[in-house]
Amino acid sequence: MNTTATPAPDAAPEQDENKLIAERREKLKGLRQSQAETGAVAFPNDFKPKDRAAQLHQAHGAIEKEAFDADIAAGKQVLASVAGRMMLKRVMGKASFATIQDATGRIQAYIARDDVGEADYAAFKHWDLGDIVAVEGHLFKTKTGELSIHATRIRLLTKSLRPLPDKFHGMQDQELKYRQRYVDLIMDEAARERFAARSRTLAAMRGFMTEHGFMEVETPMLHPIPGGANAKPFVTHHNALDQQMYLRIAPELYLKRLIVGGFERVFEINRSFRNEGISVRHNPEFTMMEFYAAYWNYQDLMTYTEDLLRATARQATGGLQLQYQGRAVDLSQPFKRLTIREAIHAHTDIGAGVDDAAELIARLKKLGLSEDKNKLSQRSLPALQVMYFEEAVESELWEPTFIMEHPTEISPLARANDQRPEVTERFELYITGREMANGFSELNDAEDQAARFQAQASAKDSGDDEAMFYDADFVRALEYGMPPTGGCGVGIDRFMMLLTDSASIRDVILFPALRHESK
């Protein structure tokens, strides 16, 4: 009886890939044997490309074929030296074509046996797509007008042991793209451009901040007390200090200590960590840009944040008229400014019910909230207004809109309004229905801050694992005196989703958090 198990229907592609990997390993084995016999190196590291594909196209792509041919005939060859991954290969007897991809783009190479030598040409025919190769020669244009390198020397620099995905379809599995970002970047030019845009955005932000007198600083990622936001932290243990530590949930309290110390304008592009849910808008580790300016209030912050995002978007994308998921977003117009109550009035039919706790509770229940889970009857009127705003209004704020005057009870670090102490001088910026920034006039009254920390500590003792700890050292810093200050945090990842028209935050994070592959 045949006891061999029948493969699952999807086993064939995996078996095919294993076969290809085995074949490539045999080729590498042959290279190593050749190395032992001739002294050649299987993985050489002495080649330095002198040119990049994009620069060659930019400098010579517009030259007509006839002009190239005339210069070559006159001995005026344009030499080129490139290295990159071989993405396409066409072997045609004594001459072949290969497409080389480097960090800037692609360029074609024409490889003829009589030009590179019989031994190298024979070796080339056994090279695989994905191999890293070097090509030296002179530029010319093919009959179809494609700028190419007429190779006079070729070398294999790195043997690729795994086959690339199908060149026409690329990687179709979205989670596989996140898990194997290195392959996604090889195959998808749009993915490479997304992250190039991210780099340009961060550079533009840094430039804008320094031009306006801000100093870039670095603050700890390991905190003895987590603070700066209402969030659940990651917990770790420091062996040498023998104490529990927390990964940073926000750099705010350290940046304000620097304002106390006399640095009047500081910013940090920081990685922060929150042990909370994962969604298309949330990743456990994320990037923010937080900045603080002495003698600014929340009105100053809104004006500056608007200018910052507008200047950054223009430099990163070339314009201010964006498209996000099929809808236009205009960053050129002044950003709207609404209080929470004004936003509720503008986007719902609640009318006078906005100031009626019973009406708000009834509407929240219709939207799916419950007394058991959300403790609606225990909420104050301002807190109920915020909940109703988040459930009914937030997603409607497509064009850039600052939402102001958050309740003091849920804003433990923000300065209360002098005329209406139940609300703070705080704003959140929404674009495409998502929070992009959060800022406020900072609380610099040490005694008020101590009382608010105490209220947060009591909430934590009552089971709120997102409430803040009491930070005695920060209170002590405020007791030395902090000038009136404004501070704001901008979510870089969400802003990049907008600038690159990306549906998920995972699309703009090179290596997003994923469940372990074995699970």
pLDDT digits (tens, 9 = 90+) for 168-213: 666 788 999 999 999 999 999 999 999 999 999 999 999 999 999 9
Could you tell me which residue, 465 or 70, shows the higher pLDDT? 70
Q: Report pLDDT for 37.
A: 80
Could you give the angle at the alpha carbon of 68 between the alpha carbons of 67 and 73, nearest 5°? 100
Q: Work out the pLDDT band at 384, boundaries 50, 70, 90.
A: very high
The answer to whether 285 is a known ligand-binding residue is no
266 versus 462: the higher-pLDDT residue is 266
pLDDT surpassing 80 at residue 370: yes
- Which sign, positive or negative, has the C-alpha torsion 479, 480, 481, 486? negative
Residue 36 binned pLDDT confidence (cut-offs 50, 70, 90): confident
According to the model, what pLDDT value does residue 465 have? 76
Please state, for a pLDDT cut of 90, what percent of the chain lies above it: 84
Residue 11 has pLDDT above 60, yes or no: no
For residue 6, the model assigns a pLDDT of 41
- The answer to whether residue 477 scores a pLDDT higher than 90 is yes
* Mean pLDDT, residues 107-129: 96
413-420 CB contacts, 8 Å cutoff, 24+ apart: 413/228, 413/252, 413/440, 413/442, 413/443, 413/449, 413/452, 414/440, 414/441, 414/442, 414/443, 415/440, 415/441, 415/442, 415/443, 415/444, 415/445, 416/443, 416/448
Q: Which of 291, 289, 285, 253 is nearest to 272 (CA)?
A: 285
At 169 the pLDDT is 66
Residue 265 above 60 pLDDT? yes
Encoded amino acid at 477, one letter? A
Q: Does residue 442 have a known ligand-binding role? A: no
Least confident among 284-288, 409-413, 428-432, 499-503: 409-413
| Percentage of the chain modeled with pLDDT above 70 | 97
What tens digit of pLDDT does each residue of 63-83 get? 999 998 999 999 999 999 999
Q: Pick the more confident residue, 4 or 347.
A: 347
Residue type at position 147: L
The domains located in the chain, with CATH, are 14-158 (2.40.50.140), 187-219+248-335+399-507 (3.30.930.10)
